[in-house]
């Protein structure tokens, strides 16, 4: 009898060691926020952009700076304001009197890791300037197309509480963020540790950080996503979750196929970060709230009844249970 050839397993030992170094180095500068760190690493590995939401003072910007330093990426920080113009983001064409010709001066978006602070403070015209950059990884100025770097990622922050002087992000733009990271207040023990570090005057010099990964290494790791094993049951599980967003009476705007692809790709990336070359159901459960929460819009009735996006997503996950030992899943509910 001919033996079935087993697929080759990926050797992730070296990568896992470097990821562990990144996590430990971040912990030296940012207390807690381990969930946020794992989500950011998964998004970078999945080649996606991240929306970071949290109140001021919980290290959103610091986390982005430390991450950029540890992966040795060119880093640019851009503060969005109500008077910011698209040319301030993309760049502009200027006339050079010496050469008597027009030249393009690149804007801050032409980098590897772009931090957009308070993204919801810029008007719609400036937000639209990011659409092509986020999706096609290029910018078109005066009919000329300029590609982004092969390694290009946007971290965008916003304050969920402050409303004055802000603009609601369009759903089309929100859908281009692969996930949303919600950074919460530290626990009492974590806050004591923060105070202890300040009391001991521990200097946080980012220049002392030694990069643990390079953009080239991460780009090479992205190529391994296609080799991560995903069972048919996992594909059906992801489909069931997304389909339930389209039949729930509490959801007005449901998730698109882009959300399904994002959840699949992020699950593969998270599996690699965990040192596995296969996806398990817990990977999907872990990532689904971050992938779906910023894409869904509740109905007015659900909001009046006190529902939150997080609660609705957790209810959907409970409905779409998967048995890891059984490849069959309950049929996807039909659309009404």
Three state DSSP letters for the chain: CCCCCCCCCCCCHHHHHHHHHHHHHHHHHCCCCHHHHHHHHHHHHCCCEEEEECCCCCCHHHHHHHHHHHCCCCEEEEECCCCCCHHHHHEEEEEECCCCEEEEEECCCCCCEEEEECHHHCCHHHHHHHHHHHHHCEEEECCEEEECCCCCEEEEEECCCCCCCCCCCCHHHHCCEEEEEECCCCCHHHHHHHHHHHHCCCCCCHHHCCCCCCHHHHHHHHHHHHHCECCHHHHHHHHHHHHHHCCCCCEEECCCHHHHHHHHHHHHHHHHHCCCCECCHHHHHHHHHHHHCCCCEECHHHHHCCCCHHHHHHHHHHHCCCCCCCCCCCCCCCCC
**pLDDT at residue number 5:** 53
Q: What's the pLDDT score for residue 7? A: 56
| Lowest-confidence pick of 8-12, 19-23, 24-28 | 8-12
What average pLDDT does range 48-76 have in this prediction?
90
**How high is the pLDDT of residue 259?**
94
- What's the chain's average pLDDT? 85
Give the tokens for residue 90.
Answer: 């993309």
Question: What band does 255 get if pLDDT is binned at 50, 70 and 90?
Answer: very high
For strand 251-253 and strand 297-298, is the pairing parallel, antiparallel, or unpaired? antiparallel
CA-to-CA distance for 3 and 152, rounded, in angstroms?
44
pLDDT for 209: 83
Per-residue pLDDT reduced to its tens digit, 189-235: 999 998 988 887 766 777 778 888 889 888 888 888 888 999 888 99
The pLDDT score that the predictor gives to residue 103 is: 82
Q: 74-83, 149-158, 321-330: lowest mean pLDDT where?
A: 321-330
């Amino acid at each position: 009898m001919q033996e079935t050839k087993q697929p080759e397993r990926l050797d992730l030992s070296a990568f896992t060691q470097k990821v562990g170094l990144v996590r430990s180095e971040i912990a030296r500068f940012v207390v807690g926020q381990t969930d946020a760190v794992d989500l950011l690493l998964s998004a970078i590995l999945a080649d996606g952009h991240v929306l970071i939401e949290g109140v001021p003072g919980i290290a959103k910007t610091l986390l982005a700076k430390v991450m950029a330093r540890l992966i040795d990426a060119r880093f640019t920080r851009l503060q969005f304001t109500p008077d910011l113009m698209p040319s301030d983001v993309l760049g502009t064409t200027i006339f050079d009197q010496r050469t008597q010709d027009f030249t393009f001066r690149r804007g801050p978006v032409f980098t590897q890791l772009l931090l957009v602070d308070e993204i919801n403070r810029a008007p719609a015209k400036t937000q639209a300037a990011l659409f092509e950059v986020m999706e096609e990884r290029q910018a078109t100025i005066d009919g000329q197309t300029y590609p982004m770097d092969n390694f290009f990622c946007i971290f965008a922050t916003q304050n969920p509480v402050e409303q004055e002087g802000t603009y609601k992000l369009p759903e089309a733009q929100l859908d281009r963020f692969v996930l949303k990271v919600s950074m919460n207040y530290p626990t009492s023990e974590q806050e004591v540790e923060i105070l202890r570090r300040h009391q001991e005057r521990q200097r946080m010099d980012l220049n002392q950080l030694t990069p643990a990964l390079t953009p080239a290494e991460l780009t090479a790791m992205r190529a391994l996503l296609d080799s991560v094993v995903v069972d048919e049951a996992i594909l059906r599980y992801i489909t069931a979750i997304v389909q339930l967003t389209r039949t729930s009476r509490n959801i007005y705007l449901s998730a698109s196929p882009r959300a399904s692809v994002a959840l699949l790709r992020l699950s593969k990336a998270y599996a690699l970060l965990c040192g596995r070359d296969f996806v398990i159901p817990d990977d999907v459960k872990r990532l689904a709230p971050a992938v779906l929460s910023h894409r869904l819009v509740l109905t007015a009735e659900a909001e009046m009844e006190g529902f939150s996006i997080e609660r609705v997503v957790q209810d959907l996950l409970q409905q779409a249970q998967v048995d890891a030992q059984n490849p069959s899943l309950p049929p996807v509910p039909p659309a009404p």
